[in-house]
Structure 1
Amino acid sequence: MHVIRSLHEITALIPLLKEALPIDVSFAICDREKFIGYWPGERIDLGIRSGQRLNPDEPLARTVRNGLSLKDVVPASFYGYEFVGTAIPLYGEEREIMGGLAVQVRTQAELRGIAEHIADSLSQAQSQLESITSASKELRHFSGQLLNLARQTAGHVGQTEEVVSIVKAVADQTNMLGINASIEAAHAGEKGRGFGIVAGEIRKLSSETVASANTIRGTLQAFRQAMAEMNGSIERMAALAERQSVSSDQIEAFIADIGAMSDRLSQYARRL
């Protein structure tokens, strides 16, 4: 219980207390109904005037009404910004409540708001990054599959070219047989005319087969070149997906570190 002879005893001490305290505070003294003095701080000025009636919901009014010391966070709806207020009742010599003394310290609500905004932004960025990371890993997986498929296709092209080479070799041999058959038909004279006609058709078919084989070989060569270029592109895409995945993991870890610092900043602001 704080017993005083008059409220003016306290008002005379306020300037000395403000100078002695190492933090920026404001003081208010009231009687049972109204403020009788207010000393603002540099960063906290509630705009209270002497003679201003007490708000029945603020800590100082409840202290005077109930005779209890209070410490509470006063929301911004009262004075425009949030602050921590402590209030104690002041008793007269007859043990009656004469009024109250309040000390106000502005909270770091703005700092907490910034920390919370950072946390919200990081949460959204984390969600987006997780989606990108997932897509990057999926791209890396499909790039690997596509690269394997491209290599298998290149192998099949090589095998097909071997078959074409065999077909051309058979056609060349057939052509030689046709030539030999034509020579023998010529030696046989009139009796070998029919055989000569067959030999000519064999040579014609052989020539067409060689021409087709050469065309197929040219097509396969162009296809092999295109496959080689595609393989190079797929390999570069797979390498890019790998680097993107690694970068996404690093950025995700960086965001997690910033989130942890934001949490510590918010906790620090609450303690101020």
Structure 2
Amino acid sequence: MYKVESLEQLMAAVPVIRAAVPADLSIAICDLEKFLAYWPGENINLHIQEGQLLHAEEPLTAAIRNNTPLRAEVPAEFYGFEFTGTATPIHDTEGRVIGGIAVQLRRQRELRIISDQIAASLAQASTRLMQVADGAGELAASTQELLALAQKSGEQVSETDKVVAIINNVASQTHLLGINAAIEAAHAGDKGRGFGVVAQEIRKLSNETVSRARTIQDTLGAFKTATSQMGVSIERIASIVQEQAATSEQISAFIEEIQQMSEKLNAFAQKL
């Protein structure tokens, strides 16, 4: 029960109360019939006029009539903004109800809207970032597979070099055989003339084989170099992708922390 000697005494104390409270308040004081004074806040003004009669449905009227303090959450539909209102009966020194005091505290709806928007934006950003991280992970796996294929191709080229070496060896032996056959044909004179033609063809085939083998070897060498360079590039790409995936996870964790802070901000705004 709140007792005062007079409502005028309470009205004199209101400016001190408003200055002492670190919140934007509006305060109204009434007697049993009408409002006696109203102090609007900077951001909350119900436009109550001095001498304005109390409405029968006014919370302050109910508080005085029932001699019971009331508290209500007033939605934005009525005044364009949300606020918490209290209505408290005032008693004189003998305990009789002589009036009431109504206090309105604007709720920080804008703050909650901003925190909700931040939370929604962060949720979308987190979802997109997780998609990027998943894509980076898949790309990293693909580059590893491609790198393995490039390495295998290099190994196969190395094996092919052995085959080319064997061909060169056979060609060399064939060429030597052709030379020996030509010498023997020369020793045989006219009887070895036909054999000499065959020996010449053998040497010709040997020379062509060596030439073809060198061409193949040069081609395989170029392919091996390109494969090696491709492997280096793939390794670099894989390293970058892995770094991006790790960075995405770090950013995602940071966004999650901000989301938690936004939720705390929202919870705090709900209490304002």
Cα distance in 2 for partners of 1:55, 1:125 equals: 50
Within a 5 Å distance, the mapping from 1:1-272 to structure 2 comes to: 11=11, 13-30=13-30, 35-50=35-50, 59-60=59-60, 63=63, 68-89=68-89, 100-272=100-272
Give the unaligned 5+ runs of structure 2. Answer: none
Question: What TM-score, normalized to structure 2?
Answer: 0.85
Q: 1:178 to 1:58 in 2, by over 3 A?
A: farther
Of stretches 98-107 and 60-69 in structure 1, the one that deviates more from structure 2 is 60-69
Q: Residues 58 and 74 of structure 1 are in contact (CA less than 8 Å); yes or no, is this contact kept in structure 2?
A: no
Deviation at 1:232, TM superposition (A): 1.1
Question: Aligned partners of 1:209, 1:59: CA distance in 2, in Å?
Answer: 109
Q: Which amino acid aligns with 2:174?
A: T
TM-score (structure 1 length as normaliser): 0.85
Give how far 1:40 is off. 1.2
Aligned residues: 272
Give 1:89 deviation, angstroms: 4.3
Letter in 2 for 1:236: R
Unaligned ranges ≥5, structure 1: none
- How far apart in 1 are the matches of 2:31 and 2:235? 82
The 3-state SS of whatever aligns with 1:128 is: helix
For the Cα contact (< 8 Å) 1:36–1:50, is it kept in 2?
yes
CA distance in structure 2 between the partners assigned to 1:266 and 1:112 by the alignment: 5
For the structure 1 residues 229 and 55, does the alpha-carbon distance in structure 2 shift closer, same or farther, using more than 3 Å as the test?
A: farther
* Amino acid in structure 1 at the alignment position of 2:166: I
In structure 2, what is the Cα distance between the partners aligned to 1:69 and 1:179? 125
| 1:58-86 per-position Cα deviation (integer Å, ceiling 9, x unaligned) | 74466467665322222222222222111
Give the direction of change, closer, same or farther, for the CA distance of 1:184–1:22 in structure 2 (3 Å limit): closer
Q: SS where residue 27 of structure 1 aligns?
A: strand
In 2 relative to 1, CA 162–103 (structure 1 residues): closer, same or farther, beyond 3 Å? same
Q: Aligned Cα RMSD in Å?
A: 3.0
Q: 1:235 to 1:89 in 2, by over 3 A?
A: same
176-185 or 128-137, which deviates more: 176-185
Q: Following the alignment from structure 1 to structure 2, what is the Cα–Cα distance between the partners of residues 140 and 258?
A: 28
Q: What's the CA shift for 1:103?
A: 0.3
Mapped partners of 2:61, 2:125: distance in 1: 46
* CA displacement at 1:50 relative to structure 2: 3.3
8 Å Cα contact 1:26-1:103 kept in structure 2: yes
Query: CA separation in 1, counterparts of 2:154 and 2:40?
Result: 83
Identity of aligned residues (%): 49
Give the counterpart letter for 1:42 in structure 2.
Answer: E
Q: What letter matches 2:110 in structure 1?
A: E
- The answer (yes or no) to whether the contact 1:112–1:266 under 8 Å persists in 2 is yes
Paired AA for residue 168 in structure 1: N
User: Per the alignment, do residues 32 and 209 of structure 1 end up closer, same or farther by CA in structure 2, a change over 3 Å counting?
Assistant: farther
Code of the residue aligned with 1:37 in structure 2: it is A
How far off its partner does 1:47 sit?
2.9
How far has the Cα of 1:268 moved from its partner? 2.1
Question: Counterparts of 2:227 and 2:66 in 1: how far apart (Å)?
Answer: 88
> For each residue in 1:71-125, what CA deviation from the matched residue of structure 2 results, as whole angstroms up to 9, or x when unmatched?
22222222222221111345899x9987643101122222222211111111001
